[in-house]
């Protein structure tokens, strides 16, 4: 059965070069979301539930978000690998997007004081500290998503397709 399978084994394939093994626990995630200022909270939710890269999230425009079908469309020019992909949205994310002030298709999804959130490193580091979380970087959300998806029985090729991992 599933219990004998070593959950770390499959995730090894999903490791990026010089990847770390830090995975955020559900409890830590809840504390982090609670510690986030309003403009950072949806960014953190999206990273946790999709494994999208920071650059893909911060440059996301409303025209890429399809709430009716429940996914985000990343075009080749939006991704590090230069390959487009579809990123599925769960109910938490659909609700989160619905709660945000929707802009025109070309407008950035994540804004702070009316402008696109270009850099959120300071507020992210502060939120991690406030939440009492040790040794966690924004990029660790990718490994967290991969690990959680794998533990939930999502096949590795599917995880790789969602996160845009090169095989």
Angle at which helix 41-50 crosses helix 140-151, to 10 degrees, equals 50
Give the model's pLDDT for residue 165: 80
Q: For residue 37, which of 166, 108, 129 has the smallest C-alpha distance?
A: 129
**113 or 19: which carries more pLDDT confidence?**
113
| 20-66 confidence digits (pLDDT tens) | 789 999 999 999 999 999 999 999 999 999 999 999 999 999 999 99
pTM of the model: 0.86
DSSP state letters, 3-49: GGS-HHHHHHTTPPTT-------HHHHHHHHHHS-TTTHHHHHHHHH
């Amino acid at each position: 059965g599933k219990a004998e399978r070593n959950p770390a084994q499959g995730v090894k394939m999903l490791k990026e070069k010089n990847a770390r093994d830090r995975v955020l626990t559900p409890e830590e995630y809840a504390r982090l979301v609670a510690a986030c200022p309003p403009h950072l909270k949806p960014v953190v939710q999206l990273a946790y539930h999709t494994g999208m890269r920071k650059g893909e999230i911060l440059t996301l425009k409303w025209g890429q978000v399809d709430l009716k079908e429940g996914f985000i469309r990343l075009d080749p020019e939006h991704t590090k690998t230069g390959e487009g992909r579809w990123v599925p949205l769960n109910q938490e994310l659909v609700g989160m997007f619905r709660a945000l002030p929707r802009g025109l298709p070309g407008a950035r999804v994540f804004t702070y004081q009316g402008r696109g959130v270009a850099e959120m490193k300071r507020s992210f580091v502060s939120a991690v500290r406030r939440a009492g979380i040790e040794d966690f970087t924004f990029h660790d959300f990718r490994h967290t998503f991969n690990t959680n998806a794998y533990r939930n029985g999502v096949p590795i090729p599917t995880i790789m397709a969602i996160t845009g991992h090169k095989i």
